[in-house]
Amino acid sequence: MSETVLDAFQDAARAWVPVEQLQAAASKMIAQVTGAEAGLVTSGAAASLTLGAAAIMAGYDPARMEQLPHAESFPHEFVVARDQRSGYDHAVRAAGARLVEVGFNEVVAGAGVRRTEVWEYEAAFNDQTAGVLYVYTPDSRPELDALVDMAHRHKLPVLVDAAGELPPRANLMLPAMTKANLVAFSGGKAIRGPQSTGLLCGERDLIASAALQLLDMDDHWELWEPPPHFIDRRKLKGMPRHGIGRSMKVSKEEIVALVTALAIFASEDPTDKYDSHRENLQLIAEAIESPTVHCELIDSVAGERAPSLEITLAAADALEICRGLRKGTPPIYVGHGKLSEGKLVINPMCLDRDAAGTIARRLLKELEHYRPTQD
Ligand SMILES: *Cc1c(COP(=O)(O)O)cnc(C)c1O
C-alpha cells in the first residue's frame, strides 16, 4: 500500500460511519471507474465470487438468501468451460452453486486444437441453470462478448473472474465493455489496496443482493434506511438476516483504503510505472548476470501487463535456489512458475529500488553458495 493509502486507512479507523452508507459511497466511485452500474468492496476476489454467485442465485429474495448454501430448490447450476476450472472455483461452490463443465481440455491433452465453444454452454442450459462462470484472460475462449450475448438471449447472467487481469488499466472497464453482469477483481494485486480486499462490480440489483448478503443486517425494518441507489428496500419482501457473506466482512478501513488505491490506480500514468518496474528489474539483472546466469527482461506492450525478469540458471538447480532464497534473511519469494525450465521469475509489481537491491544481493549470495564444485 502506498503512503496515501495507509494514511486513508488510519483516518478511516478514527471515523464512524454505518458500513452500508460507506459501501454505498464506494459503489458510486467504483461505478465511475469501471463503467458498471454499481460496485461493492469485498474481502478479496474469491469473496467476490462467492457473493456474486449468491447474488445471482438469490436476487432480492430473502428466503433464498436464508437458505444458502443449500440451493437445490431453485436454479443453482453455473456452466463453466472445463479449461477454466481452478482452485478458485471453490469460492463459487461455497455459495451453494454446482458447477457444470462443458467443452474439453484437448489443447493441454495434446489431443485436439479447439477450445470451448458458445454452443456447448447453450446446450448445457436447463431449468436449474443460474448463470455462467467465466475466467477472463486475454487467451480465454470463447470470446466473452459472444458468450454474454448468447447467455442474455436466455436471460442468464454471466459472472466473470478477472481477479488478476489488471493491468492493463483498460480492463477496469470490463463490466461496461462486455456487458457481463458481474465482474470480480482483486484489491490486493495491482490496485495495491489492502491484501484482504476485492471488488465486485456490475448490475445494480445483483450488487444490492451481494451487499445484503455481506452486510451486518441486525437492524429494525422500521429504522433501516439503506441508500436507495445502492439497495432498493422496496424490492424486498422482508428484511434478510445475516447472509452467507457475513463471514467475509469488510472493515471501514479496508473500504476507504481500497477506494483510495483504486482512485490512484485509475489515474496514475501506466508508462511511468512501467519504466520504473523496468529499471528495478534491470538493476537486478546487471548485478547477477554471469556466464552461468542468464537474465532476460520480458517486456509487454507498455501500460499492459507488468514486465518480468526471467533468470535462467545454467549451473544451479532452480528449485534449490528458490528454496534457499526463502530460507535466507530476509526471505525472498520469487516467481516459481518456470522452475521446471530452470528459471526463476521476478515480478516487479510491488518492488521499489531498495527491495530490488536486496533481491540482487540475496540472489548473488545464493548463487555463490550453489556454485558447482570444480573438477
Ligand atoms: C488471485 C486470484 C483470485 C483470488 O483473489 P483474492 O483477491 O486473493 O481473493 C481469484 N481468481 C483468480 C484468477 C486469481 O488470480
Which tens digit of pLDDT belongs to each residue from 213-243?
999 999 999 999 999 999 999 999 999 999 9
Q: Which amino acid is present at 116?
A: T
Separation of alpha carbons 348 and 222, rounded Å? 52
Q: Which atom of ligand 1 is nearest to the CA of 196?
A: 7
- The predicted pLDDT at position 302 comes to 60
| pLDDT beyond 90 at 371 | no
Q: How far is ligand 1, taken at its centre, from the CA of residue 94, in Å? A: 15
- What residue numbers bound the domain in which 112 lies? 3-267
Residue nearest to atom 11 of ligand 1 (CA): 163
CB 246 within 8 A of CB 54: no
Residue nearest to atom 8 of ligand 1 (CA): 44
Residues 99 and 143 in one domain: yes
Mean pLDDT of 258-276: 94
Q: How far is ligand 1, taken at its centre, from the CA of residue 46, in Å? A: 6
CB 132 within 8 A of CB 121: yes
Mean pLDDT of 345-374: 87
Residues 303 and 362 in one domain: yes
Residues 22 and 146 in one domain: yes
- The predicted pLDDT at position 303 comes to 62
pLDDT in tens, 117-163: 999 999 999 999 999 999 999 999 999 999 999 999 999 999 999 99
Residues 207 and 105 in one domain: yes
CB 79 within 8 A of CB 152: no
Structural domain includes residue 52: yes
Domain count, the chain: 2
Domain final residue, candidates 267, 287, 322? 267
Name the one residue in this structure whose C-alpha cell is 515480478. 347
Domain final residue, candidates 237, 267, 297? 267
Q: How far is ligand 1, taken at its centre, from the CA of residue 186, in Å? A: 6
Name the DSSP letter for residue 290: B
pLDDT in tens, 282-308: 999 999 999 999 999 999 876 678 899
300/248: higher pLDDT: 248
| pLDDT beyond 90 at 375 | no
Domain final residue, candidates 251, 267, 283? 267
Q: How far is ligand 1, taken at its centre, from the CA of residue 55, in Å? A: 19
Residues 101 and 206 in one domain: yes
pLDDT band at 270 (very low <50, low <70, confident <90, very high): confident
Residue nearest to atom 5 of ligand 1 (CA): 45
Separation of alpha carbons 212 and 267, rounded Å? 30
Which one, of 169, 187, 198, lies nearest residue 35 by Cα?
A: 169
**Would you say the pTM of this structure is higher than 0.75?**
yes
Residues 92 and 220 in one domain: yes
Residue ranges lining ligand 1, Cβ < 6 Å: 44-46, 88, 135, 161, 163-164, 186, 188, 198
| pLDDT beyond 60 at 372 | no
Q: How far is ligand 1, taken at its centre, from the CA of residue 89, in Å? A: 10
Distances 161 to 99, 127, 181, 305 between C-alpha atoms, Å: 14, 24, 11, 17
